[in-house]
Chains A and B, each alone.
Chain A
Amino acid sequence: MVAALQGLLQGLFGAAYPLVWTLLKIVLIIAPLLLCVAYLTFWERKVIGWMQVRIGPNRVGPWGLIQPIADGLKLLLKEVVIPTGSDKSVFLLAPMFAFAPALAAWAVVPFNDTLVLANVNASLLYIMSITSIGVYGIILSGWSSNSKYAFLGGMRSAAQMISYEVSMGLALVVVLMVSNSLNLGDIVKSQGQGYFADHGFGLLSWNWLSLLPMFIIYLVSIVAETNRAPFDLAEGESEIVGFHVEYSGMAFAVFFLAEYANMILVSTLASIMFLGGWLSPVGFLPDGLFWLLLKISFVLFIFLWIRATFPRYRYDQIMRLGWKVFIPLCLIWLVVVGCWMMSPLNIWK
C-alpha cells in the first residue's frame, strides 16, 4: 500500500516528489503528537482526580472525552491581549520559540528498527541542541511583556531550565559512552545485547539498571526541565508571577501546548535512552512500536504521579539540587563508568 501511494505521488508531483513525501511523513508524526498533547492534558486531570478521590472532567462528551477539544476551542475564541508598551513582534515570537523545538526534535526520534524520519549519525547531539533553543521562548516572553513580574518569572524559569539542561546532558553523555554511538537507533540496539538479553530477560539489559543513578538523575532533571510539579515555579499558585502572566487566549495556549509537547518528547527520550526504546522486555514477545508507546505512557504517568504526590520545591532548593547535587554526581559517575569500561569487568562490549 505504501509503495502504491509512493508511485501515485511520484506521478502526481514529479520532481517535487521527495519534498511532498517528506512533508507527508512530517504530518504523520506531528498530527498524532498534537492529539496526544491534547489528551495528555485530559489524562492528567483524570489521573490527578482519581488520586485525590475526585472524578475529574466528566461533563463534555462520554466520560468527558471531548473536554480537551472544548478547552482548545475556548482558548481559540478568546482575545489575545497584547500589553501596551510590549515589544509586539518579540511578544508574538516567544510562544513559537517555545513550541517549535518540541516539534522539530521529533525528526530524529526512531519509532522502531526502520521507522525514523531522518536517520542521522549525530541524532542525540541534534536533539540536545534543538531542545536547548526552547529556553528562548521563556526568556523572550518574560522580557517582551514589559512587566516586572513576567520578567522576574522568566528569569527564574530560564535559570532553572539552563541548570537542569546541564545535568540532563551529562546523564546522556554517560549513555552515549556506554552505547558508543550518538545515533538514537544504535543506542536502542546496543541495549538489546548483553547477558540478560541473551537469556530472555531484555528488561534487565536496558540502561536503566546498569546506569541506575543516571536514570534517576535524568528522570528528576526532565521534570525540572519541563517546569512541572514539584518544580513548577513558573506557574505555582503561591507565587503566580510566571513568565506568561501577560499572555491570554491562543498565545497562552501555545505555551501550554509547548509544555505538554516537551513532556512527551523528554519521556520518549527517557524511553529510548534508558528503557530500551522499541525492544520487548522479555524474549518471547516480539519487539515493536507498541513497546515504545507503552514506555512513553509509563514515563508520562510518572510525571502525573509526581505532581499529585509531592509538595512544591523552594527556588533556592531547586538550584541547590541542580548545581550542588546532580552535576557533581553526574561528573563522578562519568569517571566511574569510564573506569568501568576500561576495566576487564566491562559489560558493554
Chain B
Amino acid sequence: MEFKTFVFYFLSAVLILAGLRVITSRNPVHAALYLVLAFVSASGVWMLLQAEFLALALILVYVGAVMVLFLFVVMMLDINLDRLREAFWSYLPLGSIIALMMVFEMGLVLGGNYLGLLESNVPQTSATDSNVQAVGRLMFTEYVYPFELASVILLVGIVAAVALTQREKRKTKLVDPSQQVFVKAKDRVRVLQMPAEKRD
C-alpha cells in the first residue's frame, strides 16, 4: 500500500469515528471536541487532494474561530441530559425523515459519477500555480457576483444579530478613555486643611 493511501484511510477512519462520537457522546463539550477532531481530519483529507487553501481555511475558520465560540456557548449552557432524552421517541419519526433525506442527497452527490449527473471536470492543478492564487482568481472573476452576494448576506446576519441582542438601550458605566486621561488628582480628591488639635 502506498503511503498516501495509508494516510487517506487513516484520516478517513479518524473522521468517521469522530463524527460518530459527535452524535453519541453524552457530554456536549466532548461532542464539540470530537467535531474539532473531525474538522482537522477532513482538512487532512483535503490536503491530500492538494487543496491546501481550503484545508487551511477550514482549520482557520472552523477550528480556530467557529468552534471556539461554539465551545463558549456550550460550556455556559446548563444542559440537563435527562430532559433532552425524554422526548426522544416523539421526535424520532421527524428526525429519521430528515436523516433519510440527507442520505439521499449525499448519495446523489457522491454517486454523481456513476449516475452520470455531472460531467466531472475536476480542475487540474499545476505545480507552479499556487492553490490560493487559483481560488482567488476564480473568486474575483468568474464568481464575483455570488461571492459579493454571500458577503452581503453575511453582513445582514451580523447586523441582525446585533439588532436582536441590543433591543433596548442598556445603562452602562462605560467611561470614555479620552476623557479619562485628562482627570487630575484635584477632580477626585479634595485635601482639607484642618488645624491641629492639642491634647489636654
Quick check: is A233 within 8 A (CB to CB) of the other chain?
no
Interchain CA distance A135-B60 in the complex, whole Å = 12
Contact B130 A133 (CB under 8 A): no
Contact A182 B130 (CB under 8 A): yes
Of B36, B68, B132, the residue contacting A122 (CB under 8 A) is B132
Interchain CA distance A290-B131 in the complex, whole Å = 33
Interchain CA distance A139-B59 in the complex, whole Å = 17
Contact B53 A135 (CB under 8 A): no
Could you give, for residues 45-82 of chain B, a 1 whenever the CB lies within 8 Å of some chain A CB and a 0 otherwise?
00000001100110110011100110110010000000
Quick check: is A339 within 8 A (CB to CB) of the other chain?
no
How far, in Å, is B155 (CB) from chain A's closest CB? 14
Contact A139 B60 (CB under 8 A): no
Count of residues in B whose CB is under 8 Å from the partner chain = 24
CB contacts (< 8 Å) of B132 on chain A: these are: 121-122, 125, 182
Contact A125 B60 (CB under 8 A): yes
Of A125, A135, A151, the residue contacting B57 (CB under 8 A) is A125
CB contacts (< 8 Å) of A125 on chain B: these are: 52-53, 56-57, 60, 132
Contact B56 A129 (CB under 8 A): yes
Of A87, A126, A136, A317, the residue contacting B68 (CB under 8 A) is A136
Quick check: is A90 within 8 A (CB to CB) of the other chain?
yes
Quick check: is B177 within 8 A (CB to CB) of the other chain?
yes
Interchain CA distance A28-B69 in the complex, whole Å = 36
CB contacts (< 8 Å) of B14 on chain A: these are: none
How far, in Å, is A142 (CB) from chain B's closest CB? 8
Quick check: is A216 within 8 A (CB to CB) of the other chain?
no
Contact A139 B68 (CB under 8 A): yes
Of A87, A120, A129, the residue contacting B59 (CB under 8 A) is A129
Contact A122 B177 (CB under 8 A): no
CB contacts (< 8 Å) of B130 on chain A: these are: 121-122, 182
CB contacts (< 8 Å) of B60 on chain A: these are: 125, 128-129, 132
Quick check: is A54 within 8 A (CB to CB) of the other chain?
no
Quick check: is A215 within 8 A (CB to CB) of the other chain?
no
Quick check: is A43 within 8 A (CB to CB) of the other chain?
no
Quick check: is A208 within 8 A (CB to CB) of the other chain?
no
Could you give, for residues 133-172 of chain A, a 1 whenever the CB lies within 8 Å of some chain B CB and a 0 otherwise?
1011001100100000001000100100010010000000
Interchain CA distance A195-B63 in the complex, whole Å = 42
Q: A residues within 8 Å of B by Cβ? A: 87, 90, 120-122, 125-126, 128-130, 132-133, 135-136, 139-140, 143, 151, 155, 158, 162, 165, 182, 316-317, 320
What are 12 inter-chain pairs, A to B, with CB distance below 8 A? Answer: A87-B27, A125-B53, A125-B132, A128-B60, A129-B56, A132-B59, A132-B64, A139-B68, A139-B71, A139-B75, A182-B132, A316-B174
